[in-house]
Amino acid sequence: MTVMKNHEALVLGIDTGGTYTDGVLLEYYSRRVLATHKSLTTRRDFALGIGAVIDAIHIEDPSAVRMVSVSTTLATNAIAEGKGKRVALLLIGYDPELIANFKLGARFATPTYYFVRGGHDVYGREKEPLDLAGLLDTVNRVKGQVDAIAISSYFSPLNPEHENRAYEAVRRVTDLPIVLGNQLSTRLGSVERATTAALNASLLAVLQQFIIAVQRAMERRHIDAPLMVVRGDGTLMSAEFAARTPVETIHSGPAASAIGARFLTRLDDALVVDVGGTTTDFALVNGGQVRVGEEGARVGGYKTAVQAADLLSIAAGGDSHITLSRDNKRLEVGPERVMPLAYLAHEYPEVAQRLHTLSRRSWVQAAPEWLEYWLLLREPDGDSLRNDQERALVALLAEGPQPVPEIVSRLGVLHIAQIGAGELLRQEIIGRAGLTPTDLLHIEGRAGLWDATAAREAWKTFARFQFKEPDELRRQVWERLAENITYAAVSFLSGKQLPPPAHPEDRDMGRWFFGNSLQPAHPHLETEIRLRPHLVGIGAPAGALLQDVAAALHSDLILPKHHEVANAIGAVAGSVMVAEEILVYPHLSLQGVDVLGYFVQTSDGRELFEEEEAALAYARALSQERALGAAIRAGADNPQVIVEDISDGLDTHRIRARAVGNPRLEKP
């Protein structure tokens, strides 16, 4: 679609997910959607996929674009898939014995953490002098083995002196990026703050590369406009801020989807289910607002100190791998994501021919392993390959995609696991392809992008191995996906988990109720679960995957116009928000009995006041001033400020000022 020049203010929204990159062009003031496009995400170079989306939209006058805003699941996926950069976490003043006894080390998001003497107590007093010599010795030992350094000191929000001194010392001996815990959160939870610092450090290069890719795509198309990034709570921040605090983009994509669903439907209450290629994400719109979690966001099993939309993500989507259990008896869908065979065959005609030949073999010769292909995604760097086995695998895949049994045979191993390709998969030097729900959509004529014939041949092979009719087996896949998504929706809304089923005759009451509601089987008892808010489907596969979910929840499925790219719409429909938090806490005597005054602690220092009210008044005024200035610098137009006083216990107050405004559609 060619966009004419007479539009007042165009804004371009882009969402880069694990599978697809979506784009949408809106006229900002009328909120009219002018053009949309979907393209495959190009992980080897994000600029290619982003550029393909921009080119397909055909912006005739680039100068009319007044803002570009992006949302992305890159941070979430990098954490969930273990693809962040290597981080050394320095824990100042943490108790090694306590961490070991309660097995807290697994929560730090990096296996490389070190204890350093120092830290402060709950009233900001130095607990032990900082061991700078020991800290620098650790850094010098590990700096060649990691990509970034994170530093978290005990109770640093109350006194960041040791973190700041550590930063000054470390930056003199290494050029690695350094992240400080107190700059990311004023929350007192020491483990969550350390985890947030480690994750932020691991994501710096990931998000910076992404932002550079977006900027490069914009420059090549002569788009000179502010670039914004969606936070995990659905608000916008400048690209410069996002590059420094990538951990803030955890749940960015799903949050944008919820904002986009609200924008498209105007519904005040809705359960938004975003079905993507990699994950299905759940969010709740309540009273016209996306529900934000009270606690820090969780991702990949880690609890952070980052505030984000209250979301649930499950590993089920259009590209979930359809396989059999190890005993070849049970159908499984996911959690791994693979490239659909329909796409692989479309790109490599020789794969289509091999699938055709395979479908005519006997079931003994056509085991499901023949339906999993490995392929070379990109040429590795010179020093990427660690051993002869990795070099042999890359050389083999350079000939073209190969099925797993062929790889096993050619490399002379007994099982694919013996190859040790985990690092090549993690770095996305090689990839995997297999049967997915996307292939089934091609078989059923509900998708037509790639090679439906190849998908049909592969599915015939898979069904014959199980001695089942292809149509019957497809119904089982859809039922399995619907049950998984319904289960997740009920768990998300209720806040309760159902135990897995054991034996049909010995089920938990909750699981029985849930199962009987989905597939009524009891001769005397009828059960049902009814969804009160509307069910809104987002994402290209939503229509296919959510109809049965809506039926199970006795709800109508709403698929708004442009639901396929609602996440990109949400990327430009949000507001700019900046929060500034300042801590106020008592200054105690050495005996810890008498209150001598009250400290006002900011990220760059603290001041002492005699009276609590004077300290609180100063903190309110300062937080308001700082939030307002930061919001204007971040691109907000005429932001409004709201100040909250949050009690953290022990007479400690967290003064939070939030400045919120519409994005300014011009560069300063």
Answer yes or no: do 462 and 582 share one domain: no
- The answer to whether 10 touches 25, Cβ cutoff 8 Å, is yes
Decide if 283 is inside a domain: no
> Residues 234-239: what's their mean pLDDT?
91
* Helix, strand or coil, per DSSP, at residue 539: coil
In tens, the pLDDT along 397-454 reads 999 999 999 999 999 888 888 888 888 887 788 999 999 999 999 999 988 889 999 9
- pLDDT of 363 strictly over 70: no
Look-up of token digits 């034996």: 503
In tens, the pLDDT along 273-287 reads 999 888 888 999 998
- The answer to whether 16 touches 74, Cβ cutoff 8 Å, is yes
Q: What share of the chain is helix, strand, coil (3-state, %, to 5)?
A: 40, 25, 35
Quick one: pLDDT at residue 5? 46
- pLDDT of 359 strictly over 60: yes
Ordered alpha helix ranges (H), 444-469: 452-465
Helix (H) or strand (E) holding 581: strand 576-588
CATH number, domain containing residue 654 = 3.30.110
Look-up of token digits 């039926």: 551
In tens, the pLDDT along 116-156 reads 999 999 888 899 999 999 999 999 999 999 999 999 999 99
* Helix, strand or coil, per DSSP, at residue 397: helix
- pLDDT of 77 strictly over 80: no
Q: Which of 437, 469, 501 is the last residue of a domain?
A: 469
In tens, the pLDDT along 598-608 reads 999 987 788 99
Decide if 401 is inside a domain: yes
- pLDDT of 207 strictly over 60: yes
Decide if 137 is inside a domain: no
Residue 518 phi, psi (nearest 5)? -75, -45
Is the backbone peptide bond immediately before 246 cis, with ω within 30 degrees of 0? no
Answer yes or no: do 456 and 592 share one domain: no
Decide if 12 is inside a domain: no
Decide if 500 is inside a domain: no
Domain of residue 442: give its range. 321-469
Decide if 350 is inside a domain: yes
Answer yes or no: do 462 and 580 share one domain: no
Q: Which of 469, 504, 519 is the last residue of a domain?
A: 469
Number of domains the chain is built from: 2
Quick one: pLDDT at residue 364? 57
Half-sphere CA count of 50, side-chain side, radius 13 A: 30
Q: Which of 420, 446, 469 is the last residue of a domain?
A: 469
* Separation between Cα atoms, residue 374 and residue 338, nearest integer Å: 10
- pLDDT of 2 strictly over 60: no
Read off the tokens for 225.
Answer: 């406009």
Answer yes or no: do 587 and 447 share one domain: no
* Separation between Cα atoms, residue 93 and residue 96, nearest integer Å: 9
Decide if 416 is inside a domain: yes
Answer yes or no: do 462 and 333 share one domain: yes
Decide if 222 is inside a domain: no
- pLDDT of 388 strictly over 50: yes
- The answer to whether 629 touches 640, Cβ cutoff 8 Å, is no
